[in-house]
Structure formats: structure tokens, C-alpha cells
């Protein structure tokens, strides 16, 4: 029976890892559909390469930083419990690799390729696992202190804060240090619209992410005995709430409509195992409206050229989700309970501080040493030709 249980757990978490791995194709197509045509190839190459660099960084350094577990043993040791620790690493790697995938959308179209890969390595090896260890592995006694002080630990079931808020707030300094795409904002105060190059590809990316998210959330139980249908139902309700709120707030704009479910799902990750479905609907709805409002504000008022809106989508909606778990997870609002508001708030703020400081150090050093941005001619020609020497539609080129 023990062998059957461990084998079932391995299959369970492996399927979750595969679903979240599939989400990375969603990141790729969401970015491809949003950027201009001359940067589509770069979007595809970045996501795949970032994932590969993340794997090396997390395998050799990051996983050990977060959990104190390494893989420098013989394969005979690694296959114990049907290799459960290996599949758990794979599952958590797909979470860690989401950080550079999130950043990629913010810095699209004007970032150099190799410096971003270097940043990916540093973020996944050190910055992300540093906070991951605090939140999910009792590092530095922070969770114990929160429980002693407020009667409950910080609760983030599937990573609203650990993954999404961290990713969004890590992206913000990178976007600010890079500056806006050439011609996006004029000195006279004008704004040049850069509409999505392909709504169908954008929608495809959003759908892949949405479907994969049910693996992201449900399989965060990590063992089959802890699986909960409540997580699936809450994910569904938050997705629907985010979609409808973005539809209304975004006035039928298809870009907003397809980012709405993502906003809702980002926000529900933290409390998906403890909220009532009606609470999840509200949390998702607030997130959908928050994304539309803050995306518009950052782009048009503050003139921050965050191409995919990753700071409002992941950074702000993730932070909202972490705090919302402390509200809607309470028994007074139909939740399971066992949480407290202050630990949620304190750890969300801590994540933001670690993300901002770590990101400014990594991207600041890279900017000062090797530079972050393509030169004006390369940016004008597009990241596809400048970095990869081919466009997404080469048969249309004049020299074909």
C-alpha cells in the first residue's frame, strides 16, 4: 500500500508539473500576440530559453536555497519513494520559471537577450527561492514568529504572493530601468498606441494559461490525499469573476477580456483552498477590475511601458490575492478559517520589498556593466531581426 501511495503521489504531482509546464507555452503566445510583429520570434525564443536557464539555476542552487535539498546523490538514492522528490522539484521548478516568464512580458521588444538570461539565472537561483523558503519552508523562523504573534502563519496555497506578486514586482524595476519603447511616448505628451499584433494568438495564450492553472492550483496539494475539489471550484469562480469584471471595466476590449481570467486566477491562488466559492467570485472580480484600471493608469497616466501589464496583472493582483486570503478565508465570510489578516499583510509587504530590492540590484548592475537595452537601430528593426536574424514571416521580406 505504501508503494501504491507513493506511486500515486508521483503521478499526481507529475501531471501537475506537466500542466504548469504547458502554461509556459501560454506565456509565450500571450506575449507573441501582444507585441508588435517584429518581436514575435523573440517572444517565443525567450520563454523557452528562460525556462531552460531557470532549470539549471533552480536545480544547482535555487531549490537548495529554498528547501535545503540538493541532488548530488547517486540515482539509487534519488529514486526512493518512486522518485517523489524529483517530481516535486519538477513541479516547483515550473513555478520558479514563471518568474522570468512574467518579467519577459514587461520588458518585451527592447531588452537585450543575454543580459536577460543572466538576470533570469540570478533571480531563480537566489531572489525567488529566498522568499520561497520563508513562505513555504519555515526559513528564518518568520512563519513561527507570525504564528506566535497573530495565531496563524502566512497562508499562500498556490502562490498568489510567492510566485505572482514576486514576479510582478521583480518586473517593475526592470521595466523602469529599461524605459519605454522608442516612440511610445512623445515629449509633447502624446501616446503612440501599439495595439496587439494578433488577438487570436493572445487569446490562445490566455486559454492555455487558464486551463493549465487548474493544475497550478489543484496540484499544489502535492499529494493525492490532500486534493480538494474546493480548490478547483474556487479557481473556476475566480476565473469567471475576473473575466466578467474585465469585460465591463474594459468596455469589451478583447485584450482586457482575455487577461481578466488570468487576473482572477492570480488572485485566488493564495486562498483557493480556504475560501467559499462566492468569496472566490468576489476576489476574482475585484482582480479583473483592478487589472483594467491599473493597466490603463500605468500606460496612459504614469507612462510606464509595461508591455503586457505584468505589474498590475501579477504584482498587484497577486498582492491583492495574498491579502484577500486573510479576509475571505475567515469563517465569518464562509471560509474554512485558520488564517489571520496581519500575517497575510506582513508577508505580502515582505515579498514586495525583497522583489524590488533584489530586482534593482540585479538589473541595476547589468545596466551599469553590459547594458539592458537594444540600440536604437536594433530596436527599430525589431528584436526578431536584431537578435535572431529572422522574422516570423520571412517570405514577406523584400529580399526573399
The β-bridge partners of 373 are 111
Instruction: Please give the DSSP secondary-structure letter assigned to residue 194.
Output: -
pLDDT at 36 over 90: yes
- Does 77 or 46 have the greater pLDDT score? 46
Quick: pLDDT tens for 325-356. 999 999 999 999 999 999 999 999 999 999 99
Let me know: does 258 contact 202? Beta carbons within 8 Å: yes
The Cα–Cα gap between 58 and 64 comes to 8
pLDDT at 115 over 50: yes
The Cα–Cα gap between 318 and 169 comes to 10
pLDDT at 396 over 80: no
Range 125-134 average pLDDT: 98
pLDDT above 90: percentage of residues in the chain: 90
pLDDT at 174 over 80: yes
Range 108-128 average pLDDT: 98
Range 197-209 average pLDDT: 97
The β-bridge partners of 111 are 373
| Per-residue confidence (pLDDT) for residue 65, from 0 to 100 | 97
User: How long is the chain?
Assistant: 400
Quick: pLDDT tens for 360-389. 999 999 999 999 999 999 999 999 999 999
Let me know: does 120 contact 54? Beta carbons within 8 Å: yes
| Per-residue confidence (pLDDT) for residue 82, from 0 to 100 | 83
Find the largest Cα–Cα distance for the chain: 72
Quick: pLDDT tens for 219-259. 999 999 999 999 999 999 999 999 999 999 999 999 999 99
| Per-residue confidence (pLDDT) for residue 291, from 0 to 100 | 98
Residue 270: which of 247, 238, 302 has the closest Cα? 238
pLDDT at 29 over 70: yes
pTM given for the model:
0.95
pLDDT at 398 over 70: no
Residue 209: which of 260, 274, 271, 279 has the closest Cα? 260
The Cα–Cα gap between 173 and 190 comes to 24
The β-bridge partners of 191 are 185
pLDDT at 158 over 60: yes
Range 270-275 average pLDDT: 98
Which residues have C-beta within 8 Å of that of residue 75, sequence separation ≥ 6? none
- Does 81 or 297 have the greater pLDDT score? 297
The Cα–Cα gap between 32 and 196 comes to 9
| Per-residue confidence (pLDDT) for residue 222, from 0 to 100 | 94
**pLDDT confidence of 400, banded at 50, 70, 90?**
very low
Quick: pLDDT tens for 97-107. 999 999 999 99
Amino acid at each position: 500500500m505504501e508503494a501504491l501511495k507513493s506511486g500515486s503521489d508521483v503521478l499526481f504531482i507529475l501531471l501537475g508539473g506537466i500542466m504548469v509546464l504547458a502554461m509556459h507555452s501560454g506565456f509565450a503566445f500571450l506575449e507573441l500576440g501582444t507585441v508588435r510583429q517584429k518581436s514575435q520570434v523573440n517572444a517565443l525564443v525567450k520563454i523557452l530559453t528562460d525556462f531552460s536557464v531557470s532549470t539549471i539555476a533552480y536545480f544547482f542552487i535555487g531549490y537548495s536555497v529554498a528547501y535545503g535539498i540538493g541532488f548530488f546523490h547517486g540515482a539509487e538514492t534519488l529514486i526512493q519513494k518512486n522518485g517523489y522528490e524529483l517530481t516535486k522539484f519538477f513541479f516547483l521548478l515550473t513555478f520558479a520559471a514563471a518568474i522570468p516568464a512574467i518579467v519577459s512580458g514587461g520588458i518585451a521588444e527592447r531588452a537585450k537577450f543575454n543580459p536577460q538570461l543572466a538576470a533570469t539565472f540570478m533571480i531563480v537561483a537566489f531572489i525567488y527561492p529566498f522568499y520561497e523558503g520563508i513562505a513555504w519552508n519555515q526559513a528564518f523562523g518568520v512563519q513561527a514568529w507570525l504564528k506566535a504573534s497573530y495565531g496563524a502563519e502566512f497562508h499562500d496555497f498556490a502562490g498568489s504572493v510567492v510566485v505572482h506578486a514576486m514576479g510582478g514586482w521583480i518586473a517593475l524595476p526592470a521595466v523602469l530601468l529599461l524605459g519605454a519603447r522608442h516612440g511610445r511616448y512623445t515629449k509633447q505628451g502624446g501616446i503612440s498606441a501599439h495595439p496587439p499584433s494578433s488577438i487570436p494568438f493572445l487569446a490562445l495564450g490566455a486559454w492555455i494559461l487558464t486551463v493549465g492553472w487548474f493544475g497550478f492550483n489543484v496540484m499544489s496539494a502535492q499529494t493525492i490525499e490532500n486534493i480538494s475539489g474546493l480548490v478547483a471550484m474556487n479557481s473556476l469562480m475566480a476565473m469567471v469573476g475576473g473575466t466578467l469584471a474585465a469585460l465591463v471595466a474594459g468596455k469589451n476590449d478583447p485584450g482586457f477580456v482575455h487577461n481578466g481570467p488570468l487576473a482572477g486566477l492570480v488572485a485566488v491562488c493564495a486562498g483557493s483552498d480556504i475560501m467559499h466559492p462566492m468569496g472566490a467570485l468576489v476576489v476574482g472580480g475585484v482582480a479583473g477590475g483592478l487589472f483594467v484600471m491599473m493597466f490603463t493608469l500605468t500606460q496612459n497616466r504614469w507612462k510606464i511601458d509595461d508591455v503586457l501589464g505584468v505589474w498590475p496583472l501579477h504584482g498587484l493582483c497577486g498582492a491583492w490575492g495574498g491579502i484577500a486570503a486573510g479576509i475571505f478565508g475567515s469563517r465569518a465570510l464562509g471560509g474554512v478559517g485558520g488564517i489571520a489578516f496581519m500575517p497575510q499583510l506582513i508577508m505580502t509587504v515582505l515579498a514586495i520589498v525583497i522583489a524590488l530590492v533584489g530586482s534593482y540590484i540585479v538589473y541595476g548592475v547589468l545596466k551599469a556593466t553590459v547594458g539592458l537595452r537594444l540600440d536604437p537601430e536594433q530596436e527599430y528593426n525589431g528584436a526578431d531581426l536584431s537578435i535572431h536574424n529572422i522574422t516570423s514571416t520571412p517570405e514577406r521580406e523584400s529580399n526573399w
